Amino acid sequence: MSASQTDQPQTIATIKYQIDDGVRHTSEQAWNRGYTNNPNVKQIPVPYALHDLRAIAFPNGPDWSWSHSAEILKDFGFTAIKFDPKWNKVDNEVQAGDYDDLQTLEETYFPQVKESVHKLTGARHVFITNSVVRRGDAPLKKPANGTGSSAVVNGKDKNSVPDNYKASDETRSTHLASFDNSRPARGAHVDYTPVGARRSIRRWRPDIYKAALEAGIIDAEDKICASANLDAQDKASNDIIDAKYNADGDLGPRYAAYSVWRPMRTVTRDPLAMAPRWSFPQDGALGFLGYESRMLAAPSMGGDFLRELESVVISEADARAYENSGVATGGLESPKWYYLPEQKPDEVIVLKFFDSAALGGGLASGDVGGAPHASPDLGDAAYGPARWSIEVRCIAIW
User: What is the mean predicted confidence (pLDDT) over 169-190?
Assistant: 81
Phi/psi at 358 (5° precision)? -90, -5
- Residue 175's pLDDT is what? 87
Say how far apart CA 143 and CA 133 lie, in whole Å: 14
Say how far apart CA 112 and CA 241 lie, in whole Å: 33
CA triplet 234, 235, 241: central angle to 5 degrees? Answer: 90
- Residue 184's pLDDT is what? 78
Write the pLDDT tens digit of every residue in 196-209: 999 999 999 999 99
Sorted by where each begins, the domain ranges of the chain are: 3-397
* 286-318 burial: b if 16+ Cβ within 10 Å, else e: bbbbbbbbbbbbbeebeebbbbbbbbbbbeeeb
Write the pLDDT tens digit of every residue in 212-234: 999 999 999 999 999 999 999 99
User: What is the mean predicted confidence (pLDDT) over 35-64?
Assistant: 92
Helix (H, G, I), strand (E, B) or coil at 320: helix
Maximum C-alpha span of the chain: 58
Between 169 and 350, the more confident residue is 350
Interstrand relation of 305-315 and 286-295 (parallel, antiparallel or unpaired): antiparallel
Identify whether the C-beta of residue 222 lies closer than 8 Å to the C-beta of residue 314.
Answer: no
User: What is the mean predicted confidence (pLDDT) over 298-308?
Assistant: 94
Length of the chain: 398
* 177 has a pLDDT exceeding 90: no
Interstrand relation of 338-339 and 43-52 (parallel, antiparallel or unpaired): parallel
Identify whether the C-beta of residue 343 lies closer than 8 Å to the C-beta of residue 266.
Answer: yes
Identify whether the C-beta of residue 377 lies closer than 8 Å to the C-beta of residue 14.
Answer: yes
Distance of CA 88 to the CA centre of its chain: 23
Identify whether the C-beta of residue 354 lies closer than 8 Å to the C-beta of residue 238.
Answer: no
Say how far apart CA 223 and CA 79 lie, in whole Å: 34
End-to-end, the C-alpha distance of the chain in Å comes to 27
Task: List the strands of the sheet with 125-135, edge to edge.
Answer: 78-82, 347-355, 255-263, 388-397, 125-135, 174-176
Identify whether the C-beta of residue 148 lies closer than 8 Å to the C-beta of residue 177.
Answer: yes
What is the 3-class SS of 257-306, one letter each residue? EEEEEEECCCCCCCCCEECCHHHCCCCCCEEEEEEEEEECCCHHHCCCEE
Neighbours of 138 (CB within 10 A): 9
User: What is the mean predicted confidence (pLDDT) over 279-283?
Assistant: 93
Which has the minimum average pLDDT: 34-38, 85-89, 160-164, 202-206? Answer: 160-164
Say how far apart CA 379 and CA 45 lie, in whole Å: 12
Helix (H), strand (E) at residue 243: helix 238-244
- Residue 36's pLDDT is what? 75
Helix (H, G, I), strand (E, B) or coil at 387: coil
User: CA 106, 109, 110, 115: dihedral to nearest 10 degrees?
Assistant: 140
Write the pLDDT tens digit of every residue in 314-325: 999 999 999 999
Write the pLDDT tens digit of every residue in 113-158: 999 999 999 999 999 999 998 876 544 444 433 333 332 333 333 4
Q: 46 vs 8, 287, 313, 341, CA distance in Å?
A: 19, 15, 12, 20
> Could you tell me if residue 378 is left (phi over 0), alpha (psi between -120 and 50 degrees) or otherwise beta?
alpha
* Candidate ranges 86-90, 172-176, 357-361; pick with highest mean pLDDT: 357-361
Say how far apart CA 268 and CA 342 lie, in whole Å: 6
Write the pLDDT tens digit of every residue in 74-109: 999 999 999 976 666 555 554 666 778 889 899 999
